[in-house]
Amino acid sequence: MKSIKILGAGLSGLTAALNLTRAGYDVEVFEKRNDCGGRFRGDLEGLENWSSKVDILDELKSMNIRINFDCNPFKTMYLSDGEEKIRIVSKKPVFYLVKRGVIEKSLDQGLKNQAVESGVNIHFNSKKSLKDVDIISTGPSSKKITAMDTGIIFETEMDDVAIVLVSSKTSYKGYSYLLVDKGYGCMCTVSAYKFGNMKTYFKKTYELFSKLVDLKIKNQRNVGGVGSFLFKKKLQEDGKLIAGEAAGLQDFLWGFGMRYALASGFLAAKSIIEGKSYKRLIKKRFSDKLKASIVNRFYVEKFNNYEKILINLGKKLDEGEHINLLYEAYNLSLYRRVLYPYARLSLSRKYKD
C-alpha cells in the first residue's frame, strides 16, 4: 500500500485525503494547529452556487463528500448600497450557508470526521518539511495577502436574512455582508489590497446595516481572516502537488474560494489515483473561471462608482435573472476573453507585491 503525506488539514487537504484513502492509499495529514478549522472562529460563509450549472451539493457528492455539516440553502438575498435594497430571488439556491471553525456542525469538522472515518491519520500540532510530503494544502500565504475581512458573529432573534452591502464607505474595492441563519449571525466587511482602515470600515458597516434592518445582536465575538490570489499559479514544486489557496486558487472578484479548495483537493487525489497530469486537470476545471474573475476584478478596480453600477443593473433585471447574470460573470465570455490580457497586465502591476 502506497503512503501519501499531506501538509495542511484544510478543505483541500481533507478532500484529497478522504478520496485517496477510499482508493486504498495509506494517508497521513500534518496540521500545525490543534484542530481542523483553527483559522476560523465560527464564521458564516456562503458556499456559492452560481458559477456552475451543477449544483454544489451534487458536485460534493461526486467528490465523495457527505453533508454531515450545517449547509442551509438561501434562494433569496439582498443587494444594497446603504440606501436602496434590491431583492435577488432564484429558483435554485444562490448559495448554501456553512459554518467555519472548531465548532459543532462546521464544514471543517464535518470533513475531518469523514476523513477520520475513512481511515485518514491526522497529526495535529505537527509540522512537516515540504520535501517530505506529497500534497501541500497550507492555505493562504501570509506574504501574498490580497483580501482581508473583519467582523463579528453573534446570537440573535432576527429572521433569517442575507444582505450584501457594496459601498466605498464600508470597504475598499470590496463588500460587506450580514448573514443570519436560525438565530446565529455574522457581519463582516471585506477589503482588497488596502487594509489600514478595516476597523473604520467595519464601524461604518455596522451603522449602515443598523439603518437597513433592525439589528438584534447579543453575545458578539470578533472574527476575521485573509485571502490569497496568485496571478501565476503554483501548482507543483519538486514533484509536490499544491492545492487550494496555497496554489493561489481563489476567486479574485469577491473571494469565494471554498468551491475552488474542495475541487482542487479532489483533483490532486484524482491525479495520483489515475496517474493524470494535475496541471491539466486544474487548467480544465479552473482556467476560464480564474480568467473571468481577473476581468471582473479589473472592472471593480477601474470604476470608482461600481456600487452604483451594480445597484442600477440590479434594478433593471427582473427577479430570477440575477442568478443568470452571476453565472455569466463567473464564466469566460468572448468579450471577457478579449479583455483578459489587458486586465491581467493592469492588475498584476498593482498587486505585484
Q: What is the pLDDT of residues 249-302, one digit of tens each?
A: 999 988 889 999 999 999 999 999 999 999 999 999 999 999 999 999 998 888
Residues 215 and 129 in one domain: no
Residues 52 and 174 in one domain: no
Count of Cβ atoms closer than 10 Å to residue 19 Cβ: 24
Last residue of a domain, one of 174, 195, 225: 225
List strand residue ranges (DSSP E) for the chain, in order.
3-7, 26-30, 41-48, 72-74, 76-80, 85-89, 95-101, 121-123, 135-136, 147-155, 161-165, 175-181, 184-192, 218-227, 236-237, 240-242
Residues 193 and 312 in one domain: no
Range of the domain at 113: 1-71+95-144+226-353
Residues 175 and 101 in one domain: no
User: What is the distance of C-alpha 120 from the center of its chain?
Assistant: 24
Question: Does a structural domain hold residue 83?
Answer: no
Last residue of a domain, one of 225, 243, 265: 225
Question: Does a structural domain hold residue 85?
Answer: no
Give the burial string for 34-67 (b: 16+ CB within 10 Å, else e).
Answer: eebbbbbbbbbbbbbbbbbeeebbebbeebbbee
Residue 21 grid coordinates: 484513502
Residues 269 and 137 in one domain: yes
Number of structural domains (the chain) is: 2
Residues 39 and 120 in one domain: yes
pLDDT for position 324 = 86
> For position 180, which CATH number holds?
3.30.9.10
Residues 121 and 178 in one domain: no
Over 90: is that where the pLDDT of 66 sits? Answer: yes
pLDDT for position 25 = 97
Distance CA 55, CA 238 (A): 35
Entry pTM: 0.95
Residue indicated by cell numbers 509536490: 240
Residues 116 and 191 in one domain: no
Question: Does a structural domain hold residue 76?
Answer: no
Residues 304 and 203 in one domain: no
Distance CA 298, CA 88 (A): 24
Mean pLDDT value across the chain: 93
Question: Does a structural domain hold residue 89?
Answer: no
Question: Does a structural domain hold residue 80?
Answer: no
pLDDT for position 353 = 64
Residues 199 and 109 in one domain: no
Count the helices and strands in the chain (H runs, E runs). Answer: 9, 16
Mean pLDDT (whole number) for 228-249: 91
